[in-house]
Structure 1
């Protein structure tokens, strides 16, 4: 029997729904929930809005080392919670539990102790089946990552073959558009956060829709392949999860053929670089379609760029004692099309302060900032300096 069949069989014998969780307290299997309150409870569990078994209860009742079912009374108003750790070959894999909400307790032929013995007797088989389920999931994830790596690699032949395999094995849908979402975690934060972001995206999508997506970690990149454009609001919900605050995302445009997803991947990498280079403008997630001229600028070899390659006026400004303030002012002025009132609002300063700073900029740079060609040089130079990390520090 499968894990699902065995869980249902034990639940029928107990007369109460059962839920199996993995070590992260994520749902691995569950039996039929046959009443309105039970279905509502299951829906809350699947949506992660409510869970009877928490990490604090695991620690408080030492469930990781328990050898028998443990009966927990969370509070006077809640139904008793019965939890059995599931092991295979002496390795803890997860838990099975039920909330004893049965209202026919006095009429039942079996006692609470009998029920706990029944659950315990099923433990070894449930542990073995859970081990098989988790092993299958790991193999499936490994296969997905292998095909995803080939799809986004350098070989056109391998891209075509992996695209066919992804479709043939039902790992992704055969549709009209494919787009790539990229996650990265900057130093000194642990790279494991990148994997957590990918897993959170896969989990969120699986729970909220039937759309099939593929994800994995390729080098330092967390990559998720979608059979459609990436939804901005849903991406924001994933990034808002506690613990993922250091993670940023870049999103490529939708491509019409699966082998062309490699181009969306390249765009996603560039979009991420925009977020890393200018978080003030872009925030934590950047879509390729939002980049504008930065699409071209971010292709420059910034690792070989030096300050003396910038326009002379920009060099002088960035090297001045008030470099941060004056560079921000000039950038805001040029971003605002040279309009004084609009620039003052953007920078949140008084117009007289702005006039004073502009005079200092003219004096330091030796440039006529009213001249169109000069403005173009200064604007492009400042933008490249910011993206290349040559902006003066506070």
Structure 2
């Protein structure tokens, strides 16, 4: 579709009703806008200048259920976002949502204005559908290739790399760093998770100078970039994704972002993806974990999180640690053991961390040895208990 075709229809409608008109895509990103007629608010000005809406605004609009509307409705104002009320007229063709026609201040629309909007909706739908058929086929093919490159078998990864090359994606393929974003949201928000992930991932991709490819599958998003970047840059990038998802879905949603190491070329991108998925799992499961986790900072959890979820049960805990838990209803001894082992068996450091006298610490350690039947001076016994304590952190989230 020629963008000028859609622009002409939008401009003609705006002149006819004497109002600003905008067409957004189903993710509430601006596709086309008329000139202003003095009815603009800060949200419209920002969208026209930046070619994207603020994620909090998108979240407010999606919360009204606009992607499921079959006819026009009103999006209420949000003074805190400097947003006036809008008429939203979904543009559909063959039941497919193609776009959202927006007009500010719907209460002042005359009956003739509403009729003109309806008359223009059919022409806009035809133009958007022509665009949708071409663009969606390309997007679907591209994302399918990205998913195969990251998650497929060796043979499929090779074919996907060739397909991406033919499409002109990721031509600079000397490096590959993958981020995985997992979203956990209330059931009522599940319909908007894909939109939220696309808004977040596209916001990162648009604001960087390296090549990106993205894909969304269910509640998981993948971001593949073809240039190395410093750790803090990657962490900040992941924080943007997590923040944008929360702003679209609300604070009850959680987005856990894992980041893999930089692989040598697209052929090894699957390694970075596996690492990123493990890191995202740690962000979901570990108590007090940050929203963004780098795989190389996982330590022993990089190994423990390879245990399949259906095998991650209390049966994995050493029998000695299970006895200690059973005989420690308040968790004081388990906490003491964890701190002692985390401080490499240093009595002074552990006592300081626990804010107790060393005599109290050694008394507790003696109790631990009596209950477990293990010796804290034995390296193998300490390792077994330390791994068990680390596993407890993963099991606590599942209890």
TM-score range, shorter chain: 0.7 to 0.9
Q: Which has the higher contact order (CA 8 A, sep 6+)?
A: 2
> What SS does structure 2 have at the residue aligned with 1:322?
coil
The whole-number CA distance in structure 2 between the counterparts of 1:304 and 1:57 is 38
Offset of residue 258 of structure 1: 0.7
* 1:72-221 matched pairs, under 5 angstroms: 86-88=91-93, 93-97=98-102, 121-185=119-183, 195-196=194-195, 198-209=197-208, 211-218=210-217, 221=220
Change (3 A) 1:161 1:292: same
| 1:35-80 Cα distance to aligned partner (Å, 9 max, x none) | 99986562367241786996499899xx96349xx9x9999x9999
Structure 2 CA distance for aligned equivalents of residues 204 and 168 of structure 1: 25
CA RMSD of aligned residues (A): 4.8
Larger Rg: 1
Taking the aligned partners of 1:297 and 1:316, their CA distance within structure 2 comes to 22
Partner of 1:109: none
Superimposed CA distance per residue, residues 156-207 of structure 1 (whole angstroms, 9 cap, x where no aligned partner): 2321121121132133342432122223356986765763553233332244
Q: Please state if 1:261 is matched with 2:261.
A: no
Q: What corresponds to 1:104 in structure 2?
A: none
Aligned match of 1:383: 390
Q: Does 1:343 align with 2:350?
A: yes
Give 1:131 shift: 2.9
Which residue of 27, 30, 36 corresponds with 1:27? 30
SS in 2 for 1:152: helix
> 1:349–1:82: structure 2 CA closer, same or farther, 3 Å change rule?
same
Is 1:366 aligned to residue 373 of structure 2? yes
Find the residue that maps to 1:256 and give its secondary structure. coil
Q: Per-residue deviation at 1:144?
A: 2.5
Structure 1: gaps of 5 or more residues: 101-111
- Residues 1:333 and 2:336 aligned together: no
Q: Distance in 2 between matches of 1:116 and 1:221?
A: 40
Shift of 1:262: 1.1
- How far the C-alpha of 1:147 sits from its partner, in A, is 0.9
> Residue in 2 aligned with 1:286?
293
Change (3 A) 1:375 1:11: same
Q: Which of the two has greater helix per residue?
A: 2
TM-score scaled by length of structure 2: 0.71
Which residue matches 1:48? 54
State how many pairs are aligned.
376
Matching residue within 57, 67, 71 for 1:65: 71
Distance across 1 between alignment mates of 2:21 and 2:185: 43
- The answer to whether the 8 Å contact 2:157/2:267 transfers is yes
Query: Does the 8 Å CA contact 2:72/2:88 hold for their aligned counterparts?
Result: no
The change in CA–CA distance for 1:384 and 1:24 in structure 2 (over 3 A counts) is closer
- TM-score by structure 1 length? 0.72
Check whether the contact 2:180–2:223 (CA below 8 A) recurs between aligned residues.
yes
